[in-house]
Amino acid sequence: MTVQRILIVEDTIDIAQALQHHLERRGYETFLATKAGQALALAHTHALDLVVLDLGLPDRDGYGVLEQMRERGDNTPVLILSGRSEEADKVKGFRLGADDYVTKPFSALELMERVAALLRRSAHRLAAHAEANPGGGLSDDELRTRFGLTARQVEIARLLAEGLSNAEIARKLVVSEHTARNHTYHVLTKLGTSKRARVGTILRGGAPDREIDAHR
Ligand code: CA
């Protein structure tokens, strides 16, 4: 099993460090963003398993981060960790697509259990999906004929489906990041989606963008 990657979005540095300490001790890899803009950039370029999201951030509300992630079709589990304890705040968080909400001050032990539970649930979801799609979806040949992809583009599409960023694709294929970005752009265009997060579904035989729109 690969190491699970967690993005911590927190501008109070001692809280961020405490979170990092607890999560890393449990074997997770962590990334830290202290601003909303940085969080969105990281969520876009890295394959993450979970986001722990503070709401009060210097540049923009944490809700904005969550909203934009969901708009992009990014369904990474999000746990809001905030000092805001009003019911209205929690309701807003869940309506925007949060998976859990913990108020500060928090118990590290409980938080770690909630993180583990969320990761377990999302692993189950993925496994159930794989089971419902035996054979793992479209073959390389089907991808070439259905979408007009070249062999190279099939390779890129598979990497996108695994959640790799342009930088990671560039490293894997030993090309420049600029080239990887170009490839990604052409593959997404041929697949008929603007969202990298949709590629996995499309490769498993799902419709390009309809599913997301239906949830709006
Ligand atoms: Ca804060």
CATH code of the domain in which 151 resides: 1.10.10.10
Of 127, 147, 168, the position where a domain reaches its end is 127
Which tens digit of pLDDT belongs to each residue from 39-62?
Answer: 999 998 888 999 999 999 999 999
Find the 57 Cα to ligand 1 centroid distance in Å: 5
Q: What is the pLDDT of residue 215?
A: 43
pTM: 0.65
Which tens digit of pLDDT belongs to each residue from 109-143?
Answer: 999 999 999 999 988 877 776 666 555 678 887 88
Q: How far lies 152's CA from each of 62, 123, 140, 162, 182, in Å? A: 38, 29, 11, 16, 12
188 residue type, one letter: L
169 residue type, one letter: I
Find the 11 Cα to ligand 1 centroid distance in Å: 5
Which tens digit of pLDDT belongs to each residue from 69-116?
Answer: 998 878 899 999 999 999 999 999 999 999 999 999 999 999 999 999
Is the pLDDT confidence value at 212 over 50? no
Is the pLDDT confidence value at 213 over 50? no
169 lies in the same domain as 116: no
Find the 79 Cα to ligand 1 centroid distance in Å: 14
Average pLDDT over residues 17-38: 97
Find the 15 Cα to ligand 1 centroid distance in Å: 9
Q: What is the pLDDT of residue 187?
A: 94
117 lies in the same domain as 155: no
34 lies in the same domain as 95: yes
CATH, residue 108: 3.40.50.2300
Tally of structural domains, the chain: 2
Domain region containing 186: 135-214
152 lies in the same domain as 118: no
Alpha helices in the chain (DSSP H): 13-25, 36-45, 62-71, 87-95, 108-132, 140-147, 151-161, 166-173, 177-191, 199-203, 210-214
Find the 12 Cα to ligand 1 centroid distance in Å: 6
Find the 123 Cα to ligand 1 centroid distance in Å: 29
Which tens digit of pLDDT belongs to each residue from 161-197?
Answer: 989 999 999 998 889 999 999 999 999 999 989 899 8
Find the 53 Cα to ligand 1 centroid distance in Å: 9
User: Vertex 55, ends 3 and 41: CA angle to 5°?
Assistant: 50
Q: What is the pLDDT of residue 127?
A: 74
Mark the residues whose beta carbon lies below 5 A from ion ligand 1: 11, 54, 56
